Chain A
């Protein structure tokens, strides 16, 4: 009997110890103290700082890191994480206090991360940046919680409309003029569908990828001056006339032979840019980071691509989705001053010109966008103009992922119902609101 009691006591001890583990993870706030002392450009003293970013933006991240490492005593160690693993990996690292010094993530995930206390408060340092007003505001706004600023833009990715000039010529359309309204878009896509070429379709949409769908569909709504959510990001407003017109356009195409590329309904986002890049699609909203590769292929004999800002239902007004990755200093960083050195260096006009503009990528600094691309392709300047004009937006809600991005999200179902079913937009909009307001 005695030994059983003993075993019981040991068991209780083990359990108590196990329950202490999560409590230890609850500490924190120490980096905020360290951040208070950091001023100017931080410290460059030969420290190694770690940086996590996700795989889709690997090329740009590598350019940034090698430029920093060759000009500083500090060394940045870059770790690329698969897009789908990011959230789980950050969550695990957060609970064991092992986040990297600098953490970059999809800008639509940033509001949730910031509100969960993943980052160090750098309001003072961001405020002290001389060119703060030039920086892409959407990425700063995304990481602002209760007036405290946690993040700066890392890499900007915007959505624009692209069309295949070769297919346009074949269909008798003006190859130099892309769509300037939703109506144009539908008509031009239908003309391409009418070619009846094997494997060629008017447009393409990633039906099972909430992330690609918001990137494609939201800008037209913003162009019309409508909004997709209320200011707090707790209520969806997707049953507006612009959204309706846009979904109607895709429904028309879905019901047209060759209107939407095969696989549109099932596309999970893994290969959603491929059909256009392979020259099989007439016209579609597209990420600017993928246009660079198409323009490179064009020089080697690939098809000709046209670029124009995403239009609304009326001509003349355009908008874009200010996507990409924002970055901040994590709560677990032991090198806050050195990490700030990296962040503040990247925000400078000269740096942006060197690591982004010179490599054909999009800078996050408006001044660089205006000055450093004068010799660039006219289409690159079109892409830059959608950031400069200030019409672009970044949707912000702590529940954005659950309501829009996650596989099988209520927004994905809304789009599926509207394009391939007989959707009730206002009922589906309510389902999105439910996910946004859920606590």
Chain B
């Protein structure tokens, strides 16, 4: 009698557990479907493409690993584009993080004027990156834009010259677009970090007689570390994947001097080589590089004050 009831209890308990598992899996199913369709399948296709002879016009013509990777490494433009991407990433990251934090400190306190300032700083973030690039393309144009005339007035540029004409000036012209477009966004992220620092810490520091610089160094910066690292991850990833701004402003020119890695992928696929296999191979390499770089940066996010 008792054994029977005991068995019934375990069986109903395991039944309940199975039911729970089933329901749990069902709940997770939509997410999994999205992850599989939008993430795993494309990456698998990318891997297949990277290992195949796959031209833009001719389609898939069979496995040829590792030929695409060999060709990518033999490309004259690869080293140049990696170097340029790194240069661009370092410049943009330093300026954006410093400016983001600076702006956040300025408008941190809530007052009438600060609200207006905040809105002003954030406004460019409302434009799309492509529209912002087009806007600046028009401003930089020697035919219709004011920039050439202004610089010519100060004797910095020849009459009818363009700031996009040389590699270095085109790089800085693009950096200005990105800073204009994104500094407000990073200000917002930094401000959230600043406001999560408890006010009594500042009060205590002031009572101990610390000056503003000391407070900033010993309280604000350490407690902002997770926010700064998050911004760093965003900014570095975004800069390494830079495409829109250069595609619109310079198309990699003049003479390939502003060719980023992602533009090189586009160039392999649709312009010079018309080889989707090579483009996929380079994409895969960029993906691996990003995973490594981000995992290193993520270590910085760990809270090691505890």
Chain A positions within 8 Å of B, measured between CB atoms, are 3, 7, 11, 14-15, 18-19, 22-23, 25-26, 87-88, 90-91, 94-95, 112-113, 116-118, 208, 262-263, 265-266, 268, 401-402, 406-409, 412-413, 416, 431, 435
Contact indicator A408/B270 (Cβ below 8 Å) = no
Secondary structure call for the A interface: helix
Are B161's CB and A262's CB within 8 A? yes
Please provide the 6 A-B residue pairs with the shortest distance between their CB atoms, ordered closest to farther. Answer: A91-B56, A262-B160, A116-B57, A408-B256, A22-B60, A406-B272
- In chain B, positions 146-168 with a C-beta closer than 8 Å to chain A are 158-162, 164-165
Q: What is the minimal beta-carbon distance from B255 to any residue of chain A, in angstroms? A: 6
B29 CB to nearest A CB, Å: 9
Residue among A7, A406, A431 making CB contact with B267, cutoff 8 Å: A406
Residues on B with beta carbons closer than 8 Å to the beta carbon of A113: 57
The docked-state distance in angstroms from the alpha carbon of A91 to that of B54 is: 11
A411 to B90 CA separation, bound complex (whole angstroms) = 32
Answer yes or no: B253 CB below 8 A from chain A CBs: yes
The answer to whether A262 touches B60 (Cβ under 8 A) is no
Complex interface: chain A residues within 8 A of B21 (CB): 3
Please measure, in the bound complex, the distance between the C-alpha atom of A277 and the C-alpha atom of B128, giving whole angstroms: 35
CB distance from B55 to the nearest CB of A (A): 6
Q: How far is the CA of A407 from the CA of B164 in the complex (A)?
A: 15
- Residue B198, interface by CB 8 Å: no
Chain A binder among B38-46, B200-208, B209-217, B234-242 = B38-46
Interface residues of B in 226-247 (CB under 8 A from A): none
> Among A7, A112, A401, A407, which residue has its beta carbon within 8 angstroms of that of B251?
A407
Given A14-B36, A402-B272, A406-B272: A90 and B57 interface contact (C-beta under 8 Å): yes
Given A262-B160, A263-B160, A408 and B40 contact (CB-CB distance below 8 Å): no
Q: Is the CB of A266 within 8 A of B272?
A: no
Q: Is the CB of B59 within 8 A of A407?
A: no
Closest to A208 in B: B253
Residue contact A11 to B57, C-beta cutoff 8 Å: no
Q: Are B255 and A412 touching (Cβ within 8 A)?
A: yes
Residue with the highest number of chain B CB atoms closer than 10 Å, among A88, A91, A118: A91
Contact B32 A7, beta carbon cutoff 8 Å: yes
Q: Is the CB of A14 within 8 A of B41?
A: yes
A408 to B41, CA, bound (A): 34
Q: Is the CB of A409 within 8 A of B272?
A: yes
CB distance from B266 to the nearest CB of A (A): 9
Chain B 187-209 interface residues, beta-carbon cutoff 8 Å to A: none
B256 contacts across to A, CB distance below 8 A: 407-408, 413
- Interfacial chain B residues near A263, Cβ < 8 Å: 142, 160, 162
Pick the residue among A14, A91, A116, A413 that contacts B37 (CB under 8 A). A14
The smallest beta-carbon distance between B118 and chain A, in angstroms, is: 39
Q: Which bucket holds chain B's interface residue count?
A: 35 or more
12 pairs of residues in contact across A and B, judged by CB atoms under 8 Å: A11-B40, A22-B60, A26-B61, A87-B56, A87-B271, A94-B58, A113-B57, A407-B253, A408-B253, A408-B256, A413-B256, A431-B76
Q: What B residues does A87 contact at CB under 8 A? A: 56, 270-271, 274
Give the residues in chain B near A7, CB-CB below 8 Å. Answer: 32
Is the Cβ of A208 less than 8 Å from the Cβ of B254?
yes
- Complex Cα spacing A19 to B254, Å: 39
Nearest A residue (CB) for B161: A262
Query: Which residues of B lie under 8 Å from residue A401 when comparing CB positions?
Result: 271-272, 274
Q: Smallest Cβ distance from A191 to chain B, in angstroms?
A: 22
Q: How many angstroms between the C-alpha atoms of A407 and B259 in the bound complex?
A: 11
- The answer on a CB contact under 8 Å between B58 and A116 is yes
Instruction: Take A11-B40, A95-B59, A262-B159 as given contacts and tell me if A407 and B274 are in contact as well, using a CB distance cutoff of 8 Å.
Output: no
Assembly CA distance A23 to B36 (angstroms): 21
A407 touches B60 (CB 8 A): no
Given A116-B58, A262-B160, do A407 and B252 touch, yes or no (CB 8 Å)? yes
Q: Which of B252, B255, B273 contacts A416 (CB 8 A)?
A: B255
Are A413 and B255 interface neighbours, CB within 8 A?
yes
B5-39 Cβ-contact flags toward A at 8 Å (1 or 0): 00000000000000001100100000010001100
Q: Does B48 contact A (CB under 8 A)?
A: yes
CB distance from A65 to the nearest CB of B (A): 25
A135 to B68, CA, bound (A): 41
User: Are A22 and B251 touching (Cβ within 8 A)?
Assistant: no
Residues of B contacting A409 in the complex (Cβ-Cβ under 8 angstroms)? 272
Question: Judging by beta carbons under 8 Å apart, are A88 and B255 in contact?
Answer: no
Are the CB atoms of A266 and B164 closer together than 8 Å? yes
Contact B60 A265, beta carbon cutoff 8 Å:
no
Among residues of A, the one whose C-beta sits closest to the C-beta of B48 is A19
Between B59, B61, B259, the greatest number of chain A beta carbons within 10 A of the residue's beta carbon is seen for B59
A64–B55 CA distance with the chains assembled, in angstroms: 33
Residues of B56-73 whose CB lies within 8 A of A:
56-61
Instruction: Give, as a whole number of angstroms, the nearest-CB distance from A4 to chain B.
Output: 9
With a cutoff of 8 Å between Cβ atoms, the chain B residues found around residue A95 in the complex are 59
Give Cα distance in the complex from A416 to B166, angstroms.
Answer: 12
Q: A25-B59, A117-B58, A266-B165 are in contact. List 4 more A-B contacts (CB 8 A).
A: A15-B41, A262-B142, A266-B162, A401-B274
Contact A406 B48 (CB under 8 A): no
State A11–B44 Cα separation when bound (angstroms): 11
Closest to B25 in A: A3
Chain B residues, Cβ within 8 Å of A22? 54, 59-60
Question: Please, how many angstroms separate the alpha-carbon atoms of A22 and B61 in the complex?
Answer: 9
Give the residues in chain B near A112, CB-CB below 8 Å: 57, 274
A113 to B55, CA, bound (A): 11
User: Which chain A residue lies CB-closest to B259?
Assistant: A408
Residue among A88, A266, A413, A416 with the most chain B CB within 10 A?
A266
Chain A nearest CB, measured from B19 CB (Å): 13
Q: Which residue of A lies closest to B158 (CB)?
A: A262
CA distance A262 to B25 in the complex (A): 67
